[in-house]
């Protein structure tokens, strides 16, 4: 059984135009899957329908054996602890420190606030530090995250997504706002967690070359439909 099995997903926003049209695909444990396509293709909507930040109109999102679309709020919250998310614009809380932002990933946005590091256990803080070290930003742990560069902020975003030991992480254009050096650090790290920790990574990208050099598999999305689903080599034959 695949870790993720998406079946017949459709989505329209207020207007009639369908942004997603009958989307079917699967993702396996530890797989590095890129979704490519031009701006407006529906990549961001698709990713957000997977963890229900956006509600699809119909279809199934079977993750780890259960259809997330059928879950009630409480069960969904529980299931989402296994799904981390990384955003193009990081979506950190600017007035909080780096480590507080990382720990947020564990307790949600409402349950922590400034200066309340004390409410986290030593073990939780150690886990946050471990991740910050892995990404080479532990020296910034007590800085406000708005003092960090974009590349550093995205590394914080990745630590936040990983703090709960997810099985899947969804990355929506994680390098679109970054310089090449920072982009490489981020992509190398995402690749390493899929290979070494068996975390499935689904990454929206608009650069085909980046998708090709990192992915096990690539899905091409255009105007809300999947127009390609295959390996790098197969993609080579098209472009
Ligand atoms: P991509 O990530 O590939 O650029 P998006 O999923 O962001 O594509 O957008 C797909 C289409 O849906 C676009 O036409 C966009 O304008 C539209 N769209 C995205 N989010 C919303 C929204 N919240 N309300 C209305 N239309 C939206
Ligand atoms: P990011 O790429 O930083 O995640 P976007 O700029 O794609 O953010 O979108 C920001 C928000 O605006 C998202 O919640 C998205 O759903 C919404 N959005 C995107 N396109 C439209 C649109 N055409 N109409 C309304 N809302 C939109």
> 110, exposed or middle or buried, with CB in 10 Å at 0-12, 13-18, 19+?
exposed
DSSP per position, 139-174:
GGTTSBGGGS-HHHHHHHHHHHHHTT--SEEEEEST
pLDDT recorded at residue 110? 43
As a whole-number percent, the residues of the chain with pLDDT over 70 amount to 93
Residue closest via CA to ligand 2's atom 2 equals: 88
| Per-residue pLDDT tens digits for 212-223 | 999 999 999 999
Summarize pLDDT for 141-198 with one digit per residue, the tens. Answer: 999 999 999 999 999 999 999 999 999 999 999 999 999 999 999 999 999 999 999 9
Q: By percentage, how much of the chain surpasses pLDDT 90?
A: 82
Of how many residues is the chain composed? 239
pLDDT of residue 235: 74
Ligand 2 nearest atom to the CA of residue 54, by list position:
16
How many angstroms separate the CA atoms of 228 and 160, rounded?
Answer: 31
- Decide: 220 in ligand 1 pocket, CB within 6 A: no
pLDDT band at 83 (very low <50, low <70, confident <90, very high): very high
- Which of 43, 44, 54 to probe ligand 2 with, by most ligand atoms within 8 A of CB? 44
β-strands 83-86, 217-222 pairing: unpaired
Q: What is the pLDDT of residue 142?
A: 94
Q: Stretch 27-31: mean pLDDT, rounded?
A: 98
Confidence of residue 78 (pLDDT cuts 50, 70, 90): very high
Q: Is 233 a residue whose pLDDT tops 60?
A: yes
At 234, is the pLDDT very low, low, confident or very high (cuts 50, 70, 90)?
confident
């Amino acid at each position: 059984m695949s870790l993720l099995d998406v079946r017949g997903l459709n989505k329209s926003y207020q207007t009639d135009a369908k942004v997603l049209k009958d989307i079917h695909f699967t993702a396996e444990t530890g797989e590095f899957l890129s979704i490519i396509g031009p701006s407006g293709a529906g990549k961001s909507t698709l990713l957000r329908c997977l963890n229900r930040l956006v509600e699809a109109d119909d279809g199934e999102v079977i993750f780890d054996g259960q259809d997330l679309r059928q879950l009630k709020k409480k069960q969904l919250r529980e299931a989402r602890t296994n799904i981390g998310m990384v955003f193009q614009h990081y979506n950190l809380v600017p007035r909080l420190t780096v480590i507080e932002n990382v720990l947020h990933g564990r307790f949600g946005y409402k349950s922590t606030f400034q200066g309340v590091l004390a409410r986290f256990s030593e073990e939780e803080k150690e886990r946050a530090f471990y991740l910050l070290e892995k990404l080479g930003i532990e020296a910034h742990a007590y800085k406000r995250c708005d003092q960090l560069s974009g590349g550093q902020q995205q590394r914080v975003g990745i630590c936040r997504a990983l703090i709960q030991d997810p099985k899947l992480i969804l990355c929506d254009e994680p390098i679109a706002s970054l310089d090449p050096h920072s982009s490489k650090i981020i992509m190398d790290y995402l690749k390493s967690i899929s290979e070494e920790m068996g975390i499935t990574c689904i990454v929206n990208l608009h650069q085909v070359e980046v998708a090709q050099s990192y992915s096990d598999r690539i899905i091409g999305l255009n105007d809300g439909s999947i127009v390609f689903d295959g390996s790098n080599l197969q993609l080579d034959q098209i472009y």
